């Protein structure tokens, strides 16, 4: 009988930072930002303010407290019908040359028509205003969910893959429309730099989004027998990606993902929670019923994302944007679990 050798566990790809692409001129820009009360918006704004190099124009419904006097604030309601006129005036007055659009919802909402107005139509207004005022650079926030979770997905979705997200499901359809608008805008205005960043699930110590709620449940719902691979990106790395997009002029679409993957069952087991597998045939109507009764945390369109594969490939971001994630998926998860434990004993809010 031959000896049976024990293999060491396969390690995630070794962490080696690549050579970054050449820096574009480090000039000071006038940046207009929407969605400044979201996680990425507020943190990015505060960091840019601290840096002090760029002039920032903040656009949102309410003025937050962390704005410094140098940052100008304008009230802008993207769901109103004259939003593009208002925005165009603001851009002209402030002579903005960069626009960062982060006004997207981070959680599923019952108000689907409001969400459509904000995400899809609001983005259209922004493109109108930017085209009119010849804004030189646009950064749009998207998500890897637009690729869709299908059993026929390859193990690494590259940026050129077709967007096969479920168009009957409103949140994903709105995001796909945003992406399509961005593509057609770039085609019409090839001299503008349109960067679309697609981060996968963001986790970390301070972020609160839909996924932190899902992993914070005492009993986590999954589908019986399905265990897709998941990837996570740390919040610091996601912010770093946006900062790089602001500083470097890289047109195109980029997947922002962490290193390595983990199956969903391992994520649940490492967090010490109990799985509640539901048979897939009954899961969809059941989750929809719970959502309509305002008990569930999400509609059933998101169940596909814990059933099939939707792992994206981050090599293009590494090569062209110079984005290198410092945290692997497992390390991100461990940071998040640590903070959850501190929250459970009320040591951190």
Partner 1 sequence: MGNPNILGNDPLKKSGPEGKPVQSPGLRLKLLNPLAETKEAPGPREGHRSRETDDLLDNGFVPSPRLKKSRKRLRKAAVRIQNLDEALGKRVRLIEDRIEDSFENLEKGMEEILHRLNVPAPELGNLEENLKKAVENYEQKFESVIGKIETSLPRAQERKAVITKIKTPIEKGQQLLQPSFYRDLWRKFSMLGTGDEVDEFGLDTVFEDRIKPMFDFLYDKWWRVEAEGIANIPDSGRVLLVANHSGTLPFDGAMIKLAVRNYHPTRREVRPLVENFAYYFPFIGNFMAKTGSVRACQENAVRLLEKDEVVIVFPEGIKGPTKYYKERYRLQRFGRGGFVRLALKTHSPIVPIAVVGSEEIYPIIARLDFIGKILGFPIFPITPTFPWLGPLGLVPLPSKWHIRFGTPIRLDENPPESIDDQILINHISEKIRAQIQDMVYELLKKRKSTWRG
Q: How far is the CB of 299 from partner 1 (least distance, A)?
A: 22
Binds partner 1 (CB under 8 A): choice among 229, 278, 286, 297: 229
Binds partner 1 (CB under 8 A): choice among 17, 152, 293, 295: 152
Contact call for residue 154 and partner 1 (CB under 8 A):
yes
Contact call for residue 260 and partner 1 (CB under 8 A):
yes
Contact call for residue 73 and partner 1 (CB under 8 A):
no
- Whole-angstrom CA distances from 73 to 36, 54, 64, 273, 338 are 10, 15, 9, 43, 36
Binding mask 292-311 for partner 1 (x = CB under 8 A): ----------------xx--
Q: Where are the beta strands (DSSP E) in the chain?
A: 30-34, 55-60, 72-75, 98-101, 137-141, 193-199, 201-203, 219-223, 229-230, 232-234, 252-256, 262-263, 274-278
Binds partner 1 (CB under 8 A): choice among 270, 292, 342, 348: 270
The crossing angle, in degrees rounded to 10, of helices 122-133 and 170-188 is 10
Pairing state between β 262-263 and 30-34: unpaired
- Residue with Cβ nearer partner 1 (61 or 270): 270
Binds partner 1 (CB under 8 A): choice among 15, 61, 217, 274: 274
Q: How far is the CB of 218 from partner 1 (least distance, A)?
A: 11
Binds partner 1 (CB under 8 A): choice among 15, 61, 217, 224: 224
Q: How far is the CB of 311 from partner 1 (least distance, A)?
A: 8
Contact call for residue 134 and partner 1 (CB under 8 A):
no
Q: How far is the CB of 296 from partner 1 (least distance, A)?
A: 22
Q: Which stretch binds partner 1 (CB under 8 A): 91-99, 175-183, 208-216, 256-264?
A: 256-264
Q: Which stretch binds partner 1 (CB under 8 A): 88-96, 106-114, 119-127, 153-161?
A: 153-161
Cα–Cα dist 257/317, whole Å: 9
- Residue with Cβ nearer partner 1 (9 or 293): 9
Q: How far is the CB of 38 from partner 1 (least distance, A)?
A: 30
Residue among 136, 82, 108 at smallest CA distance from 211? 108
Q: Which two tokens stand for residue 104?
A: 């997207």
Asked whether 155 and 311 are in contact (CB, 8 A), the reply is yes
Q: Which stretch binds partner 1 (CB under 8 A): 137-145, 204-212, 225-233, 283-291?
A: 225-233
* Segment 133-137 long-range contacts (CB within 8 Å, at least 24 positions apart): 133/88, 133/91, 133/92, 133/96, 135/32, 135/91, 135/96, 135/97, 135/98, 135/99, 135/192, 136/97, 136/98, 136/192, 136/193, 137/29, 137/97, 137/98, 137/99, 137/192, 137/193, 137/194, 137/195, 137/249
Helix (H) or strand (E) holding 272: none
Binds partner 1 (CB under 8 A): choice among 31, 262, 283, 287: 262
Binds partner 1 (CB under 8 A): choice among 66, 73, 210, 226: 226
Cα–Cα dist 310/154, whole Å: 8
**Phi and psi torsions of 172, nearest 5°:** -70, -35
Contact call for residue 261 and partner 1 (CB under 8 A):
yes
Contact call for residue 15 and partner 1 (CB under 8 A):
no
The H helix count followed by the E strand count for the chain is 11, 13
Contact call for residue 25 and partner 1 (CB under 8 A):
no
List interacting residues with partner 1 (CB under 8 A): 1-2, 4-13, 151-156, 158, 223-227, 229, 260-263, 265-266, 269-270, 272, 274, 280, 308-309, 330, 341
């Amino acid at each position: 009988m031959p000896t049976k050798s024990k293999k060491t566990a396969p390690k995630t790809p070794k962490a080696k930072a690549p050579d970054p692409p050449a820096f574009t001129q480090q000039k000071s820009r006038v940046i207009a930002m929407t969605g400044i009360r979201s996680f990425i918006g507020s943190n990015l704004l505060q960091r840019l303010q601290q840096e002090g190099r760029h002039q920032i124009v903040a656009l949102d419904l309410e003025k937050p407290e962390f704005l410094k006097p140098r940052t100008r604030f304008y009230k802008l309601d993207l769901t109103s019908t004259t939003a593009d006129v208002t925005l165009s005036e603001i851009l002209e007055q402030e002579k903005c040359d960069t626009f960062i659009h982060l006004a997207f919802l981070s959680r599923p909402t019952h108000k689907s028509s409001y969400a459509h107005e904000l995400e899809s139509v609001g983005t259209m207004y922004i493109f109108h205003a930017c085209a009119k005022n010849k804004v030189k650079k646009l950064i749009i926030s998207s998500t890897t969910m637009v690729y869709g979770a299908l059993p026929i997905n390859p193990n690494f979705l590259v940026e050129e893959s077709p967007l096969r997200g479920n168009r009957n499901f409103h949140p994903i359809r709105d995001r796909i429309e945003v992406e399509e608008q961005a593509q057609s805008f770039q085609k019409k205005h090839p001299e503008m730099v349109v960067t679309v960043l697609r981060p996968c699930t963001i986790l970390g110590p301070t972020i609160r989004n839909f996924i932190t709620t899902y992993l914070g449940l005492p009993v986590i719902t999954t589908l019986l027998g399905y265990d897709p691979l998941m990837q996570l990106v740390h919040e610091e790395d996601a912010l770093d990606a946006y900062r790089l997009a602001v500083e470097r002029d890289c047109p195109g679409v980029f997947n922002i993902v962490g290193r390595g993957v983990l199956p969903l069952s391992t994520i649940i087991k490492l967090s010490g929670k109990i799985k509640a597998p539901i048979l897939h045939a009954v899961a969809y109507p059941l989750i929809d019923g719970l959502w309509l009764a305002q008990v569930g945390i999400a509609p059933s369109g998101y169940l596909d994302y814990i059933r099939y594969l939707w792992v994206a490939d981050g090599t293009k971001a590494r090569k062209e944007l110079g984005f290198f994630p410092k945290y692997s998926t497992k390390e991100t998860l461990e940071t998040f679990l640590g903070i959850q434990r501190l929250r459970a004993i009320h040591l951190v809010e």
